[in-house]
Structure 1
């Protein structure tokens, strides 16, 4: 029974470790996505700076205003997506912490079971040693 329990716990720990690794990977990907949104926002904001150069003519001014407006819309959209990505990253962080706790619980139980098994093995070995010593003592006494 003990070996079966140990094997089951080891398999469970492997599954928990895989889930933890997967959660870690998902969080890293989500953080990269958040950073990409920030990079996009910075790049788009830099596009609006060159529009500060003075121009003459109503058509150019209208064109520049439309350009800045469209860029600002994209920036706002990217900021909105970034907020959603950050919220998702927070959820993934919480999930990662939960997975880490689950994995740690199984690891602790497995370590306790291994320690208990080693203690039982030590007791059995000591019992065998004591039995052999008693036999030797009885033989010496009889002989």
Structure 2
């Protein structure tokens, strides 16, 4: 997977956490059998910045932990180029994930697991949204998404 990780925080995200995000998302991509030329980005921000995104794009004027912006949403999307043999070599950008580093530690402490588990949880959660999973559609969809999320994290080694 071609993954761009952007750090817009004041303090900076450690190399260890940068590498963890890259590794867990590549693992998740393999679990979903995504093409290796899949592209996406993860941007780390502080609470003020994620609150701006949350307000501007979701109409909720408060910070949140993670926001996903999928490039393609729903079945109404169409390919401009229809020759699958030709397009399989073209990278597919699935979207962007925005993560608040200010919230990761507090949520990890509240939930009783490591910072790394919470970081992995948030990026996998956002990643699944980019791939069409949505826990807000109903109980069955929520169970499907959360079960897959747990399976990916557990198999990766980031258990609760």
The answer to whether TM tops 0.5 is no
Q: Report which of the two has the higher share of helix.
A: 1
Which structure carries more relative contact order (alpha carbon 8 Å, separation 6+)?
1
Q: Report which of the two has the higher share of strand.
A: 2
User: What TM-score does the superposition give when structure 1 sets the normalisation length?
Assistant: 0.19
Larger radius of gyration: 1
